[in-house]
Every structure is written in C-alpha cells, then in structure tokens.
Amino acid sequence: MRDRQESMKGKHRKEEPEKGKEGPAGQKDGANGGGAGSAEPAANRGGPQSPAGSGERSPAAPAADVKPAIDDRLLRLQADFDNYRKRTLRERSETAVRANEDLMRELLPVLDHLDLALDAAVQHHASGPVIEGVKLVCEQLLGVLGRFSLRAEDAGGQGFDPSRHEAISHLASDDVPANRVMTQVRRGYWLGERLLRPAQVVVSSGPAGGGPAGDGRAAPPAAEG
C-alpha cells in the first residue's frame, strides 16, 4: 500500500509541470486574441473625417445661385402660356365668326326672297292675313339671325357711301338731292362690325337740268347767235 501511494504521488508531480506550461500559453493566446479584437473597433470608430477648414461649399450654396435662373424661367413660361391662351381664344372666336359668316351668306337669298314676296303681296293687293303672315316670318327669321350678330341695313334716303352701298344706277331727280339714295333694290347686311353685303341702291344725280356732275347747279345759258 505504501509503495502504491508513493507511486501515485510521483505521477502527480510529473503531470503538474505540463499543466503549468499549458496555462501561460493559453493566457498568451487569449491576450493576443483580445488585443486584436479591441484594436479593430478602435480603428473603425473614427471613420473618414474631412480636414477642418478645407473650404468646401455647403449644399445650400448652389441652390441659392440657381434660384434667380429658375425664377426667370418660370416667368417666361408663365408669359408664354398667357400668350398661348389669348391666341387660342382669338383663333376660336375667329373660327366661330367665319363659320357664322358662311352660314349667313347662304341665308341672305332666303331673306331677299321674303322681301320680294312681301313687296309683291303689297303691290298686288293681297289679303291682309297673307301680308301679315309673310311679314311675321321675315321678322322672326331676322330675330333669330340677330342673336348671331346679323343685322339688316336700310339705305333708303341716306347719302351714298361707296364703302357701304353698291350703286347699280344713277337717275335724275327733282325731289332727291344729288348723291343720295333714291331707291333701295336689295338690303345690305352687317355681321357684327363687319359688312357682310353692301346694299344695292339707285343714286340720285340731281335735277334733270343740273350741271354735268349732277351737283344741282343750273346749266350756263346758251350763247346768242
């Protein structure tokens, strides 16, 4: 028993130095591992830093320089859009006027025939209801067309105006002064402020014994033989 106990003590003495050798190695490895792990976060914590006082412009500075150019461009776009809107409205109005003008020109012969029918009924002493019926139809049609700016012009008794009247004849007259309308053959019509068709008229040239220009002056006396 004593020999066995001594052999066991000697075995334990041999194993203790080997455990001691592993201890410092483990501590050294642990120290090395710990140092590497702690150094890396220290390097990454700083991150890239720009040098102080480098003179770089802030992001707000370019926006301040561009703002006047943007404002000027917006003003130009607004002016262009306003001109476009006015031009569109003007073209639309002109298109409507041209469309109405074509329609009115096609309807003028109808109005002329109604006027001729009314004159014929009066000249041939037609019954009163017939004359009144034709007159009502003519007035109603003129009223409807008047809503679209059509209006008739009666030139009877007016001074002759070549810009509004179409002279188809000149006749001498003792009652009507020279260069005045004696008779209206066909009425003229206006579409708004535009002359759609001039009135056809007969113009007075003055008294039959007037001057060559029909100005109403007496003819010079004939020379004595």
Q: What is the pLDDT of residues 59-83, one digit of tens each?
A: 555 666 778 888 888 888 999 999 9
Q: How would residue 91 be classed by pLDDT, with cut points 50, 70 and 90?
A: confident
Please compute the mean of the pLDDT values over residues 169-177 and round it to a whole number. Answer: 89
Between 195 and 14, the higher pLDDT residue? 195
- Whether the predicted pLDDT of 222 surpasses 50: no
Q: How far apart are CA 90 and CA 97, in angstroms?
A: 11
- Whether the predicted pLDDT of 22 surpasses 50: no
Q: How far apart are CA 130 and CA 117, in angstroms?
A: 10
pLDDT (0 to 100) of residue 33 = 45
Please compute the mean of the pLDDT values over residues 142-155 and round it to a whole number. Answer: 91
From 52-61, 200-209, 213-222, the region with the lowest mean pLDDT? 213-222
pLDDT (0 to 100) of residue 112 = 93
Please compute the mean of the pLDDT values over residues 14-40 and round it to a whole number. Answer: 47
Identical fold for domains 67-148 and 151-215, yes or no, is no
Please compute the mean of the pLDDT values over residues 212-223 and round it to a whole number. Answer: 42
Contact predicate 189/196, CB 8 Å: yes
Contact predicate 219/209, CB 8 Å: yes
pLDDT (0 to 100) of residue 139 = 92
Dig out the tokens for 171 from the structure.
């006749």
Q: pTM for the complete prediction?
A: 0.53
Q: How would residue 56 be classed by pLDDT, with cut points 50, 70 and 90?
A: low
pLDDT (0 to 100) of residue 61 = 54
- Whether the predicted pLDDT of 58 surpasses 90: no
pLDDT (0 to 100) of residue 2 = 57
| Domain-wise residue ranges, the chain | 67-148, 151-215
CATH number, span 67-148 = 3.90.20
Q: Would you call 181 helix, strand, or coil by DSSP?
A: strand
CATH number, span 151-215 = 2.30.22.10
pLDDT (0 to 100) of residue 208 = 81
- Whether the predicted pLDDT of 23 surpasses 50: no
pLDDT (0 to 100) of residue 140 = 93
Q: Would you call 195 helix, strand, or coil by DSSP?
A: strand
Contact predicate 105/190, CB 8 Å: no
- Whether the predicted pLDDT of 218 surpasses 60: no
User: How confident is the model over 100-143, as pLDDT tens digits?
Assistant: 888 899 999 999 999 999 989 888 888 889 899 989 999 999 99
Burial 98-129 (b: 16+ CB within 10 A, else e): eebbeebeeebeebeebbebbeebeeeeeeee
